[in-house]
Structure 1
Amino acid sequence: MRQLSLFSIFLLAGWLSAADSKPNVVVILADDLGYGDVQCLNPERGKIATPAMDSLASEGMIFTDAHSASSVCTPTRYALLTGRYNWRTHLQKSVLYGFGEPLIDPDRLTVAGFLKQHGYNTAAIGKWHLGLDLPKTDDTPFRGNNPQNVDWDGVIENGPVDRGFDYYFGISASLDMPPYIYIENDRFVGKGTATKAFNRRGPAEPDFEAVDVLPMIGKKTAEYIAAQDASTPFFTYVALNSPHTPILPSEEWQGRSDIGIYGDFVMQTDAIIGDIVQAIDDAGFRENTLVIVTSDNGCSKAAGIPAMQKQGHFPSAHLRGSKADLWDGGHRVPFIVRWPQAVKPGSRSDQLVCQTDVMATCADILDVEIPGGAGEDSVSFQPALSGLPVHSSRAGVIHHSIGGYFAYRQGKWKLLLSKASGGWTSPTEKQMPSGSPPAQLYDMEADPGETNNLYTSNPEVADALLQQLTSDVERGRSTDGPPAQNDVDSIRIWKGQAPAN
């Protein structure tokens, strides 16, 4: 029997005590924040000051091999909130837009709904981007980004407050997607009687300005936390709009970094995260609040990556690729956890985890089971918080790009069912010369930059990973349990030309 260190025993005792008192849970999801944009994760090749996240890491744990379920916005959000991969739905590639219909089915349990069943107050604040049934003045379907038949006085259906959240304040999608108007619970805050363009032109509330959204999210989150009572645990999902486009730091943040406007916006994002953490501490919730800070995918090319690299800042750190890609720069993300009652300050975990794992981790902390038909791709990383190995019933983690390309990671091996990035980074699939290997295989321990393709020299490894990926897709789940149903009849695993047998 393995011997536990005194510190592990101390942490275990702290975790048990925390579980008894139902810890608060605050998940802060940045938008397009690269792994290398956080200074403590990229000390040698990062040039942006992020004191709030660095401080949080020093008080808790850094996960160095944590991944979003997708390399773009909507799919990641679905997976984080449901514990289920997005491609099990009809959304096989790309993202939704501001007038998109709901992606989460009414009977699909979310982390919020699960925690609500166990006595939590729940709130979502910020960017939703999972579709809403916005009210119409007639039966004409919404078309494009500037429909004329929005009922600004109507009730919004199948949004956050219908998916497990008691309270919601935020925007329907990314800040470059109309409508440009706040939503509170199931109502618009005002009317979209103006027309504005923050990259895309569409209806807007006359006083709505993109530059105000990030501070507003921070303010509303701090107010919500301050209003909570210690007698009732709370779950707060904070989806920031930054540093996604439009890259608009507030005036007081402009010029604060040495690498331009994107660096300024990352610094402001970091400060808002710091404000939220301070609100937790000021309200007396510090010791028994599990705080997770992460990002929905890697840094966007809109940030001007080549120019930043010339100045010594590498937003993907040592990784290849960026947002939208199948390479790790697209989906290996910052993942910082603070929970003073149960996590050793300044600790680190190199274990492979995915954002789908939030649901199972919450269940593990509460010592309850996830109901059947929920969290099919979720595994608890709670043991890692105490420095112990995660014993997973999931064989590996599935990655997914904006183009719908699949990859499979198991241990040190990563199989990509694409010839190239599978996303926006060159070379893309169309840019690869004829005769290129149909897939990629990398040893992520020896080659984290994914430069030495071992696909043709290790066919047995590639075949084993492909079989496991295929099983995880077709069974409707990647964890132990009875087979589940995907929402679509068939899922195309090979988006490119599959190799001949």
Structure 2
Amino acid sequence: MLKAFLISALSFLLAATSASARPNVVMLLADDLGHQDIGCYGGPVKTPALDALAAGGTRFTDFYSGCAVCSPSRAVLLTGRHHIRAGVYSWINDASQKSHLLEREITLAEVLKQAGYATAHVGKWHLGLPTDQRKKPTPADHGFDHWLGTANNAAPSHHNPDNFIRNGEPVGLVEGYSCQIVVDEALTWLEKHRAKDRPFFLNVWFHEPHAPIAAPDEIVETYGALKDKAAVYSGTIDNTDRAIARLLARLKEIAPPEDTLIIYASDNGSYRADRVGGLRGSKGMNWEGGIRVPGIFSWPGVIPAGAVEKTPAGLVDILPTVCGLLGIAPLAGVHLDGSDISPLLRPAAGTAFTRHQPLFWHLQKARPIVALRDGPWSLVAEPDFELSTSNMFEESWIPAIKSGTYKNWQLFNLETDRAQDHNIAPDHPEILARLKARLIEINTSIMADGPDWHLDQ
């Protein structure tokens, strides 16, 4: 009821503004892509399409995922809220968990749909899908008019996947590579299914380079031997860039580049330690290597070309920032953990950016379990409680997670120590005390909102 009321109120607020005056919005999300994988971030993979996107817009040096693993980060992107508030504690396994993105959450797709946008999701979903035993919402329940997705990864690999679902119906075996299949679907929707008289929101979530990996031999061999996992990994990213190039070319035919806002990022850091740009840790860890990812914003004529922004930002800022760029008022009564970073993207407007709440991460099996970024400062801590050794999230852990406390606090200055080699907490007790209190305050608020999946729903 509350969600329906809020969306109704949003419709009223937007009624006076013409949807046709707003740009198309395209969200491109990689899966497990490291901070230093693609060319414009100094990576070894040839990514001319993404490099051109960065050259034509703003590239963030310190951009962050919503979590160190898949599902929670995606929940953060769509809602602008911490994933635990949104119902997602960790990566989702539909067969064994009740967990899913709560239907009560208001997503970016729903906000834009109420603003008059046609909406589509293509690619990995991993926010919960129905099974024979469990009823869960689908992308259609979260604001998408059309969707093609997978419950988790492309299976059996990126090559010839057989687990795509389109609008609730299994598709079966699809020949080709996942990234190209996903773009094929996006192009088909753009050509045949979207309402041509409305702007569109196209949410494109690739599977690459998440394992199990596969890429065309002719691409892989440019990076090394065909059986070299590093070469195949690079090949999946290269292949994705080629798919993105096809999509970008069609977008330019549909509308002038000035009519389309494009955002590119990754859901978390790489599982390969050699692709995190010298940062500490990797996927699944709340060190910088697990949560720092590429972040590119392009909107010619609005966002300046060739800009490099060092202010920390992340996926949690996507929803409020899109609203800010499009002139859509944020929902009253909904706490957003992200901030509107549009002042950073439109510096000529002369509006100063102030983050209302530090960036914060919590993942129960990660070490460190919590992390906070406030300006140059990075604060991390270990759990003062134990969970079972299972790598898969167990909903029986929720009481311990909600009541858990932390220990072994460490403080780093990322401006002088981006590798987090030197704990300076003993040297700065006043900064440690201030940030520790702020982290505990944010953590307490989030845990109060987290659903009790371990109880009968």
What is the TM-score of this pair, normalised by structure 2?
A: 0.81
Q: Is 2:192 aligned against 1:213? A: no
How much does 1:474 deviate? 2.5
Quick one: which of 198, 223, 227 aligns to 1:257?
A: 223
- Aligned partners of 2:151 and 2:32: how far apart in 1? 17
Q: Is 2:367 aligned against 1:392? A: no
How much does 1:121 deviate? 0.6
SS at match of 1:408: strand
Q: Which amino acid aligns with 2:449?
A: N
Q: 1:20 to 1:401 in 2, by over 3 A?
A: same
**Root mean square deviation of aligned Cα:** 2.8
How much does 1:36 deviate? 0.2
Quick one: which of 342, 355, 358 aligns to 2:318?
A: 358
Q: Which amino acid aligns with 1:398?
A: F
Percent identical residues: 31
- Aligned partners of 2:177 and 2:266: how far apart in 1? 21
Q: Is 2:125 aligned against 1:128? A: yes
- Aligned partners of 1:245 and 1:346: how far apart in 2? 33
Q: Which amino acid aligns with 2:379?
A: L
- Aligned equivalent of 2:395: none
Aligned residue pair count: 401
Conservation of the 8 A alpha-carbon contact between 1:214 and 1:242: yes
- Aligned equivalent of 2:249: 278
How much does 1:368 deviate? 2.7
SS at match of 1:333: strand
Quick one: which of 168, 172, 191 aligns to 1:186?
A: 168
Q: Which amino acid aligns with 1:213?
A: S
Quick one: which of 130, 136, 149 aligns to 1:170?
A: 149
- Aligned partners of 2:351 and 2:432: how far apart in 1? 26
Q: Report which stretch shifted further, 367-376 or 30-39.
A: 367-376
How much does 1:234 deviate? 0.7
Q: Is 2:266 aligned against 1:295? A: yes
> Higher helix share goes to which structure?
2
Q: Is 2:137 aligned against 1:158? A: yes
Conservation of the 8 A alpha-carbon contact between 1:157 and 1:186: no
- Aligned partners of 1:86 and 1:180: how far apart in 2? 29
- Aligned partners of 1:271 and 1:291: how far apart in 2? 16
**CA offsets per residue over residues 135-188 of structure 1, 9 Å max, x none?**
x2xxxx47xxxxxxxxxxxxx851001111111012111225899422111222
- Aligned partners of 2:70 and 2:147: how far apart in 1? 19
How much does 1:292 deviate? 0.4
**CA offsets per residue over residues 32-77 of structure 1, 9 Å max, x none?**
11110011112xxx32211111111111110111111101100000
SS at match of 2:437: helix
Q: 1:395 to 1:84 in 2, by over 3 A?
A: closer
- Aligned partners of 1:34 and 1:25: how far apart in 2? 24
Q: 1:390 to 1:250 in 2, by over 3 A?
A: farther
SS at match of 1:361: helix
Q: Which amino acid aligns with 1:417?
A: A
SS at match of 1:36: coil
Conservation of the 8 A alpha-carbon contact between 1:257 and 1:267: no
Q: Which amino acid aligns with 1:395?
A: Q
- Aligned equivalent of 1:430: none
Q: Which amino acid aligns with 2:169?
A: R
How much does 1:18 deviate? 11
Alignment of 1:84-483 (within 5 A): 84-89=81-86, 91-92=88-89, 94-97=90-93, 99=95, 101=98, 103-134=100-131, 136=132, 141=133, 158-175=137-154, 180-189=162-171, 205=172, 207-208=173-174, 212-227=177-192, 228=194, 231-258=197-224, 260-301=231-272, 305=273, 314-374=274-334, 376-387=336-347, 391-401=353-363, 403=365, 405-418=369-382, 438-476=408-446
SS at match of 1:415: strand
How much does 1:97 deviate? 2.3
- Aligned partners of 1:225 and 1:293: how far apart in 2? 19
- Aligned partners of 2:413 and 2:202: how far apart in 1? 37
How much does 1:488 deviate? 4.0
Task: Give 5+ residue unaligned stretches, structure 2.
Answer: 1-16, 225-229, 384-406
SS at match of 1:87: coil
Task: Give 5+ residue unaligned stretches, structure 1.
Answer: 1-16, 143-155, 190-204, 306-313, 420-436, 478-484, 491-501
Conservation of the 8 A alpha-carbon contact between 1:98 and 1:177: no
What is the TM-score of this pair, normalised by structure 1?
A: 0.74
- Aligned partners of 1:183 and 1:418: how far apart in 2? 39
Larger radius of gyration, structure 1 or 2? 1
Conservation of the 8 A alpha-carbon contact between 2:19 and 2:117: no
Q: Is 2:47 aligned against 1:54? A: no
Q: Report which stretch shifted further, 247-256 or 225-234.
A: 225-234
